[in-house]
A = this chain, B = another copy of it.
């Protein structure tokens, strides 16, 4: 209960020191960071994190998919565990805040509680998940925890995963043990994650924090248009079966459809290739990869169906055939209503200006939510810049987020 809850404040200077030290591991010239999952830099960051856990007198825990945690145990060994964390890995030349700040805040909360004489009803676990960014396999660590990674995923006969297998082996992750990383849901109270928004909403509206209500669902499609190669000069407009012309019409129409009818959804066509790709030959094939996101699963399904129909219409209009193939599917997740309420209550107590917000990027909380109640706090990103050395969050917002998380933890566990 908020009213009975002890009030603690994180040690901002100590957190800042951690942040500055960690930012040096894999630092790039422009002020960014490259800590690709399972790289030397990522392994160095884990080792640094393990030292911080030991230094704080917490217990180090690692699991069969390479997740690394610090534990603060309750008196009762049968108590449930509240997990809190994010990821230390980054995209190539990414920012210093994405993922890292969530792991450091989790650690700082545990340290602060450990220093107090507060008695916990639950174990606390500050966790760093392996390969959130998908250098090898997006959200690998959290999927391991919920039991959705198996050796078969990595031994996939259709693709040569040799380099991935070698990277896992080097990090001490054994294919035959991966499934043992699965945790018992009954033993876990829930999961909390602090992360930067990576969008402009909070920054533009001058807000302190966002409470994530939903995380977008996402489907990825290969859309392949097939026409006929022909002489670029002697083939008349009516005779042409120009695959790129059809693909261009589809891209234009797809953006138009989503903007006008699904303003809270997003479509991206980020990849396009043409065969035979010669300036004086009518394109025979145009393949694009399209990604669709929406915070509501039924709407996502509807967008998907509309876009596939649109691709078929564009193919027909240009005398082409089209093949669509779903590559990736991740349902939208509605965060635990109970945890959202707890975070809201902590925000009120801390007097921060916050709103409910949808996350348009994927997170470990989205995966954990499939097994246990999960909640998520967003910190404002200046100008929404992310996956970029210019990524920046004001330190006062880091402090506010950390204190709101600390209060939420105490509300849940004291």
Residues of A in contact with B (beta carbons under 8 Å apart): 197-200, 216, 218, 220, 231-237, 239, 242, 244-245, 247-252, 255, 258-259, 263, 266, 268-274, 276-283, 286, 289-291, 293, 360-362, 384, 386-387
Please name 8 pairs of A and B residues whose Cβ atoms are closer than 8 Å in the assembled complex, sorted by A: A231-B387, A233-B266, A233-B291, A233-B361, A234-B384, A271-B277, A272-B277, A279-B290
Contact status A232-B386, CB under 8 Å:
no
Which secondary structure characterizes the binding site on chain A? mixed
Complex Cα distance, B274 from A273, in Å, reads: 8
User: How many chain copies?
Assistant: 2
Contact status A252-B245, CB under 8 Å:
yes
Contact status B270-A278, CB under 8 Å:
yes
Contact status A234-B270, CB under 8 Å:
no
Complex Cα distance, B231 from A7, in Å, reads: 37
Residues of B within 8 A of A293 (CB): 232-233
Complex Cα distance, B258 from A87, in Å, reads: 52
Residues of B within 8 A of A384 (CB): 234-235, 239
Given A248-B247, A266-B232, decide whether A279 and B274 contact each other with a Cβ distance below 8 A: no
Residues of B within 8 A of A197 (CB): 234
Complex Cα distance, B270 from A281, in Å, reads: 6
Contact status A361-B270, CB under 8 Å:
no
Given A199-B234, A233-B218, A384-B235, decide whether A279 and B268 contact each other with a Cβ distance below 8 A: yes
Complex Cα distance, B178 from A277, in Å, reads: 32
